[in-house]
Structure 1
Amino acid sequence: MRIIKLICFLLLFFSFSSQAQSLLARNISLNIEKQKLGKVLSMIEEQGAFHFSYNSNILPTDSLVSIHDNSLNISEALDKILNHRFEYRQSGNFIIIRYAPLELVLLVNESVGNADLYTITGQIVDKQLQKPIADASIYEKNLLVSEISDGNGYFSMRLKNITQPISLTVSKENYKSTVTHFLAEVNVIHKKDQVSERFISGNLDQVEKTWLGNALVTTGQKIQSINIGGFISKAPFQFALLPGLNSHGSLSGQVVNKFSFNAIGAYSAGVDGGEIGLIFNIDKSNVQYFQFAGAFNLVGGNVRGAQIGGLFNQVIGEVKAAQIALGFNAVGKSFEGLQVGGIYNRVRQDFSGMQVSVGLNAIGKRLSGFQVGALNLVAEKQEGLQIGVGANLVNGKSSGMQIAGIANLNQQSEGVNVAVLGNYAANTARGLQTGVINYAGKLKGAQLGIINISAQNDGYSIGLINIALNGYHKFSLATNESTTYNVAYKGGSKRLYNMLMFGMNSKAGEKIYTAGLGFGKEMRLFSKLSLNPEISSQYVYQGSWDYLNLLNKFELPLNIRLNKWLAIQGGPSINVYYTRQNNATGNFGLLQQKHQDFSFSNQRYTGWIGWNVGLVVL
């Protein structure tokens, strides 16, 4: 019986060993002279049909390498170009390169037991110096049992319910990992749901570097993370009271669970199913499907599915999920989905979907979708709909629609900007700006407001006051059949300019005063000749504010430029006068008597053909 078990064990061992060495044992050919290490590694990847994973801060990728050998395997090639100072391990189609210039040894003091209980005690020492190594990780990856060597390198491990040959892995930072096999009195059983080890690339200690991670993750779990790194196991279930009190012990930070229930809180490698923490959850890598915490969730990798935190959710990676917190949500990379934060939402890269908060929404790069908050901030580009109870700020291009209770502030605007107070586009504004005050560095769309300002106006400004700092500015001094003296400021663009108009008639018995607004367009006929159709409406004051008197004009003056700053103008006009004032009162009755009069109830209209002649200061 013992012989049969030994044969089974050896078959399993050699099958696992051959599988693990399949990539490293592949033969390649290298004839390289003074090439950068990074390029050489890419050539080995191409020949071996796999990928490397390594920390570029440790591996000297800019160093020059020379090697000429037509028959060597990948492991031998790496030893030659890296001078035996690194360790290589396979995970899937990846070879992981780990800095490990030193070697360690597991000295077994005692290994005894059976399938129900097996005990191993020993010591971890430096192979060259024969000195004990403290804080080394010793773990059995199938049983998810681990220990950490003490100050003298000693450890003791108790293994229960053994159904597979025991393989103890010893790992320590800067040391090559070693595996020691033990044959217990066991019946070898193949389990479909057997725990398997895999590798996760990237910097997995970021959670531990946060304030909460550093405070709540135990020293033992931090040591395991340093020693074992990205080699992660899977388990169907975890129960935890605290990060240091759980069903996986100090190895919990190296285990991805299908489901984890945490009475207070826990620290895990990740979740591939569901996790419930009555207070908190901390995960160093990815979380999938569902995560709930009464207080907070802290995730070092990516999140997929649904994440709910009573106070806040903090994810260092990217999120494709529905993320809800009464306090705030913070995402280190991009986000897709629905994000609801009571006070604050922060995404450091792109956002796609819907983002809602009572307070602040901040996006580090691009927004594509719908954003609602008291204040919305986008660093690069906004597409879609943005609603700010207070303001919307895009430090780049706004494309789509913005609605703000106070103001929309953009570097560049395309689309529709609606604000109660004002809109500001530092550079080009296309589309529509509508607010009390609108400003655009270069207007190529339309402005609708009380005051419209642009540095350069190539669009349309419609408002009480339109100012184009480097655009269309003209003053006209004129006389017409109704008022002797008239002055008007014309500002905006040639396509559409606004007119602010004042007039008066000072003759005794005919004193009237006019003020109003108008719009015009310059149509160039020749180099010094243009036609300017203009429409306006002016209030007519005749000594009393009790009546509404409006003089509406359509004028078609011809402008002849005399020099760079002066032109003469003149042309016909069509006039329609409306008044509620009786014929017997007011000084405007004189004009009414000269023209045909028609009445509707108590409203009176008079129309006539008039003229306008004057000077235009350019």
Structure 2
Amino acid sequence: MPKFEDAKLRVIFDELKKQESVLFSFNSNLVDLDKPINTTPFRGLMVDYLEVLLGEKYTFKETNSHIIITYAPQRLNVHTIDIDTLKNNRAKITGYVMDVQTNKPIDFVTVYDRTTFQAASLTRKNGYFELDLKNLGNTVTVALSKENYRDTMLVLLLPVNVTNPDPNRKVGYHQTLDSTKTIANSGFGRFFTSSRQRIQSMNVGGFFVYSPFQISMTPGLSTHGLFNSQVVNKFSLNIIGGYTAGVDGTEWAGVFNVNQFDMRGLQAAGVTNVVGGDVRGVQMAGAANVGLNTAKGVQIAGVWNTIDTLIAGAQIAGGANLATDAKRSLQIAGVLNKSTNEVGNQIAGGINMAKKVHGVQLGVVNIADSSDYPIGVFNWIKNGTRQFSLGFDESQFASLNFRSGGKVLYAVLGAGIYVDNKDLQYGFETGLGGFLVKKKSFSLSAELVHRIQFDKNWKYSEANRSSLRIIPAVHLTKSLQLYAAPSLTYAEAIHKVDGANGVSWKFWGADASRNTLHGGGTVGLSYVF
């Protein structure tokens, strides 16, 4: 590397990326990229150069494509380590982990087999650990990890010829940009996992290894033991529940699945699935699917689905779907759909809520900042249409209607009374309307409205009306509009005469004794707000 004078750290990192084709991963609060750096020319190991740049209180882990930078000001060491060789190609490794500076024992240090990744343990209060290993090779690499301590590895030589570890063993690293969106910091994660497993995850961090399969009864009883939270499996079977690093294939559970990192493929559980990383594929749960980061695929649950960002796909739930952002996605729920930011389309038996809707909202109540195509009984669109209208039609029905919706579609909800009708007194209207033309001084819209009717004693009349209205409106001011709307109405007979079958046609007004298709009209005044 060349000499640098008052160069920002980000400039030096960019030069390293360019020369060495390596990427850096770190918490943005940990490293100040705008810090000025002065260095002399350097030739040597990358780790030594990074210590020159950042200091000795940082530790550096290397993966296939990244160098992970973490803060580790403290050091640990292992005292009085012992290997007890057992039968059937097994061995027990024991020892004590101590702080290098204070020489005091350290508890809750993760100790694991770095060769096969088949065994892990946590140290006790006196720093003591036991590691039971099987299927031994020629060497055993024991790794020690604890938050704020530099990772330490011990290579133990067994009394056989030394060979390299299995070159086919694949390992990886999961980068977490937001620590609040992790299993250890979520309510669901704390509910389904133990404190020992969460400490294990904190110590080892985003490091994981791949395995073809795992079987567990509960998160603590797994074929991968305590290390199960750091293993990504092709196939995972959890009789009651399991806690793994992730899925790259298929996972089934009688009750619950918990993944610390990503889920890719198919995941099914009798009660719930919880994923701390990204979801790519299909999640199915009897009760709930919970994703803490992004999803691309389908979530299907009996009660609810929740995800931070639904990149593309659908959420289908009997109860509710919750997302922070679902711009190019579909939400279908029996009760509630909610997207804090954007959403593609929403269909609910109850309420739809979003900030910006790119497609259609279909529900009883639709709420959004922006939604051009809401279809419901009541809409509240912040940047849409809201108006009260007083109208009087050919049946001498005086009504007050509330129109609410988007810039294209809106809902009609109204009530009124008959001025001079011996048989009917009250009526309620619901309907759907849409703007055909919308100018500054003039607008033209069409509505399809249905009216149910009652007599003066509030007895329901089976003679209902359905009308198609064409509404031209002149804008007197920014808020007041005057309209005269011709209509085509199908009206059921109030006093149906025996033998009077079929539908009669009248140019104006209904026939009280027959079902009638007739022309009509409404005049009125609207207040827009």
CA distance in 2, matches of 1:404, 1:357: 15
The residue type paired with residue 111 of structure 1 is: I
- Per-residue deviation, 1:145: 0.4
Classify 1:77/1:361 alpha carbon distance in 2 versus 1 (closer, same or farther; 3 Å): same
Alpha-carbon distance in structure 1 between the residues aligned to 2:167 and 2:473: 76
Which of these residues, 40, 46, 66, is aligned with residue 68 of structure 1? 40
Residue 113 of structure 1 corresponds to 85
Change over 3 Å in CA distance of 1:378–1:326 after alignment to 2: same
Query: Is the CA contact 2:434–2:447 (under 8 Å) kept in the aligned structure 1?
Result: no
Aligned to 1:152: 126
SS in 2 for 1:125: strand
The answer (yes or no) to whether the contact 2:263–2:280 under 8 Å persists in 1 is yes
Instruction: Provide the TM-score with structure 1 as the length reference.
Output: 0.64
CA shift for structure 1 position 370: 5.6
Larger Rg: 1
Amino acid at match of 1:356: I
Alignment of 1:69-468 (within 5 A): 69-113=41-85, 116-141=89-114, 142-163=116-137, 165-185=139-159, 194-202=168-176, 203=178, 206-369=182-345, 371-380=347-356, 382-388=357-363, 390-396=364-370, 398-399=371-372, 401-407=373-379, 409-412=381-384, 422-425=403-406, 429=407, 431=408, 433=410, 435=412, 446-449=444-447, 463=471, 468=476
| CA gap 1:407/1:422 in 2 versus in 1, 3 angstroms | farther
Q: TM-score, normalised by structure 2?
A: 0.74
State the partner residue of 2:4: 32
Structure 2 unpaired stretches of 5+: 386-400, 415-432, 450-468, 489-506, 510-529
Note the C-alpha offset of 1:467: 5.5
Cα-to-partner distance string for 1:289-342 (whole Å, 9 max, x where unaligned): 111111111111111221111111110111122211110000112242232111
- The answer to which of 115-124 and 317-326 deviates more is 115-124
8 Å CA contact 2:256–2:273 kept in 1: the answer is yes
Question: Taking structure 1 as reference, are residues 119 and 333 closer, same or farther at Cα in structure 2, changes over 3 Å only?
Answer: same
Query: 2: distance between equivalents of 1:191 and 1:41?
Result: 32
State the Cα deviation string for residues 387-412 of structure 1 (Å, max 9, x = none): 11x1222213x34x332133362514
Q: Alignment identity in percent?
A: 28
Verify the 8 A CA contact 1:37 1:63 in the aligned structure 2: yes
Kindly indicate whether the alpha-carbon contact (under 8 Å) linking 2:140 and 2:155 is maintained by their aligned counterparts in 1: yes
Contact 1:408 / 1:422 at 8 angstroms: preserved in 2? no
**For 1:324 and 1:346, how far apart are their aligned partners in 2?**
12
Contact 2:405 2:411 in 1 (8 A): no
**Cα distance in structure 1, aligned partners of 2:17 and 2:263:** 30
Q: Check whether the contact 2:117–2:227 (CA below 8 A) recurs between aligned residues.
A: no
Cα distance between partner residues in 2 of 1:169 and 1:408 = 58
Instruction: Say whether the 8 Å CA contact 1:113–1:185 is kept in structure 2.
Output: no
Q: What is the letter of the counterpart of residue 266 of structure 2?
A: F
- The Cα offsets for residues 487-524 of structure 1, whole Å up to 9 and x where unpaired, read as xxxx45xxxxx35xxxxxxxxxxxxxxxxx68xxxxxx
RMSD: 3.2
Q: For residues 540-579 of structure 1, what are the structure 2 equivalents within 5 Å?
A: none
Cα drift, residue 252 of structure 1: 1.5
Q: Which residue of 2 aligns with 1:529?
A: none
Distance 1:395 1:434, change over 3 A: closer
Change (3 A) 1:432 1:154: closer
Decide which moves more: 160-169 or 401-410: 401-410
Decide whether aligned partners of structure 1 residues 443 and 324 sit closer, same or farther in structure 2, where only a CA change above 3 A counts: farther
**CA distance in 2: counterparts of 1:81 and 1:579, whole angstroms:** 89
CA contact (8 A) 1:406 1:421 kept: no
The DSSP-based 3-state class of the residue aligned with 1:323 is strand
Distance 2:289 2:508 in 1: 67
The one-letter code of the counterpart of 1:463 is: I
Equivalent residue for 2:478? 470
User: Could you tell me which amino acid in structure 2 is paired with residue 384 of structure 1?
Assistant: G
1:410-456 deviation per Cα after TM superposition (whole angstroms, max 9, x unaligned): 5148xxxxxx963245xxx3x4556357899x8566433599xxxxx
Structure 1 gaps of 5+ residues are 1-27, 414-419, 452-460, 474-490, 493-497, 500-516, 519-535, 538-577, 581-618
Deviates more, 1:257-266 or 1:189-198: 189-198
DSSP 3-state at the match of 2:211? strand
Distance 2:508 2:154 in 1: 106
- Aligned 8 A contact 2:375 2:411 in 1: no
Query: After the TM superposition, which segments of 4 or more aligned residues of structure 1 sit over 6 Å from their partners?
Result: 187-193, 437-440
Secondary structure in 2 aligned to 1:58?
coil
Note closer, same or farther for the CA distance 1:186–1:242 as it changes in structure 2 (3 Å cut). farther
CA contact (8 A) 2:93 2:131 kept: yes
Paired residues for 1:487-526 under 5 Å: 491=481, 498-499=483-484
Give me the whole-angstrom Cα distance separating, in 1, the residues matched to 2:263 and 2:318.
22
Aligned residue number for residue 458 of structure 2: none
Kindly provide the CA deviation profile for residues 449-475 of structure 1, in whole angstroms up to 9, marking residues without a partner as x: 599xxxxxxxxx95397665327x7xx
Using the TM superposition, give the Cα deviation of residue 180 of structure 1 relative to its aligned residue in structure 2, in angstroms: 0.8
Cα distance in structure 1, aligned partners of 2:478 and 2:100: 79
TM-aligned CA deviation for residue 579 of structure 1: 9.5
Q: CA deviation at 1:120?
A: 1.3
Cα gap change, 1:190 to 1:181, in 2 (>3 Å): closer
User: Structure 2: which amino acid aligns with 1:207?
Assistant: I
Q: For residue 203 of structure 2, what is the amino acid of its counterpart?
A: N
Q: Secondary structure at the match of 2:200?
A: helix
The count of corresponding residues between Structure 1 and Structure 2 is 431
CA contact (8 A) 2:434 2:446 kept: no
Taking a change above 3 Å as real, the CA distance of residues 353 and 332 of structure 1, as seen in their structure-2 partners, is: closer
* AA of the residue aligned to 1:120: I
